[in-house]
Amino acid sequence: MDTNGSTSGNGHETNGRAAVAEPPHYALLKEKIAILKKEREAVILAHNYQEGAIQDVADFVGDSLGLARKAQGTDAKVILFCGVHFMAETAAMLCPEKTVLIPDLAAGCSLADMIIPEQIRAWRAAHPDGVVVCYVNTSALVKAECDYCVTSTNGVKVIEHIPAEQEILFVPDYYLGSFLRAKTKRNIHLWKGYCPAHAAILPERVDRLREEHPEAEFLMHPECGCTTKQMDLADEVLSTDGMVQYVKRSPAKEFIIATETGLLHRLRAQHPEKAFYPASEHAPCHHMQRNTLEKAFMSLVRMQHVVTVDPKISERAVRPIERMLEIV
């Protein structure tokens, strides 16, 4: 794994949580994956929310933006994308000449499912001067209806790039949209979608953790359901990779982490001397967890499941992504 995503993961995390041993057959599976990866000329990209064992075999672990860039830059013939479907679609659109695989085709995104193309067309018709900005957590069909794409890393920069007088329609995440509206003071209309995993992070629990660990820094993902109430209290509102970078720089010894719990594997592996308290123990993304080490292995054995986007859709859907990548 490269320097940006290195973990030493051995399944024995101690800081802030009891050690959990990996199943005994995982060591052999990891060896077989390494051999198959070479045979297939494949690269393994994994999102920060993937289970620890998948992060351990990945060539790169990162956030949505980092993974899109890695997909774009790789020489590999095959990309095994250990993440959710919209992320694999983005890779497929940016690299049409490569084979993009996902371990489990059902690994979707509840937030992305909260808007469909017809709804964007109707919203645009009601706001004919509006520029439509979509979060990367959208299907290719939805992106094809949008003007700009953003990730949790670059939303402020992309919005600030749009002329100041322009009305903006933001889909689908209400909380990220609220955060961007507060930061940029722009005229942004919000779609009322949300991520169920982040919605499970409650302000009361965050308040209690902050009382119990007064020295801890509080890092929050902008998808959090409590963003609007707690944004001012957070030390930083960051993407998953933003949190990884922040923890590296910070002299603090304790952190309250308000995002999906998969990120804790990477943070704990990189900083065994620091303690990380999840703002919710109940914030796993069930879609991300559909991918397992076994399924990643089978993907390489059978070259399954190939993710493609209809070229007619891709031609339009890739535009908001490329616009974003030109800005940031």
Chain residues binding ligand 13P by CB under 6 A are 48, 63-64, 137, 151-152, 195, 223, 239-240
Q: Smaller CB distance to ligand 13P: residue 68 or 317?
A: 68
Angstrom distance (rounded) from CA 321 to CA 252 = 35
Q: The tokens 């796993």 sit on which residue? A: 284
Instruction: Give the tokens for residue 220.
Output: 């929050």
CB of 32 to ligand 13P, least distance (A): 28
Spatial contact of 180 and 188, defined as CB atoms under 8 Å apart = yes
CB of 311 to ligand 13P, least distance (A): 26
Amino acid of residue 10: N
Q: Smaller CB distance to ligand 13P: residue 99 or 240?
A: 240
CB of 255 to ligand 13P, least distance (A): 16
Q: Smaller CB distance to ligand 13P: residue 217 or 223?
A: 223
Calculate the CA 280 to chain-centre distance.
Answer: 17
Q: Smaller CB distance to ligand 13P: residue 113 or 294?
A: 113
Q: Smaller CB distance to ligand 13P: residue 130 or 177?
A: 177
Three-state DSSP class for residue 246 = helix
Q: The tokens 């995440």 sit on which residue? A: 173
Q: Smaller CB distance to ligand 13P: residue 99 or 239?
A: 239
Angstrom distance (rounded) from CA 293 to CA 310 = 29
Q: Which of 241, 262, 284 is nearest to 56 (CA)?
A: 262
Q: Smaller CB distance to ligand 13P: residue 169 or 285?
A: 285
Instruction: Give the tokens for residue 39.
Output: 């045979």
CB of 58 to ligand 13P, least distance (A): 14
For residue 47, report the phi and psi dihedrals to the nearest 5 degrees.
-75, 155
C-beta neighbour count of 239 within 10 angstroms: 23
Q: Smaller CB distance to ligand 13P: residue 90 or 239?
A: 239
Spatial contact of 17 and 26, defined as CB atoms under 8 Å apart = no
Instruction: Give the tokens for residue 218.
Output: 């509080």
CB of 123 to ligand 13P, least distance (A): 22
CB of 67 to ligand 13P, least distance (A): 8
Distances in Å between the alpha carbon of 49 and those of 54, 263, 267, 289, 319?
Answer: 10, 5, 11, 8, 27
Beta 275-278 vs 236-237: how paired, if at all? Answer: unpaired
Angstrom distance (rounded) from CA 300 to CA 31 = 13
Q: Smaller CB distance to ligand 13P: residue 152 or 227?
A: 152
CB of 151 to ligand 13P, least distance (A): 5
Calculate the CA 305 to chain-centre distance.
Answer: 20
CB of 175 to ligand 13P, least distance (A): 11
Distances in Å between the alpha carbon of 120 and those of 35, 147, 177, 187, 190?
Answer: 45, 11, 16, 18, 12
Measure the N-to-C terminal CA separation of the chain; round to a whole number of Å.
Answer: 24
CB of 245 to ligand 13P, least distance (A): 12
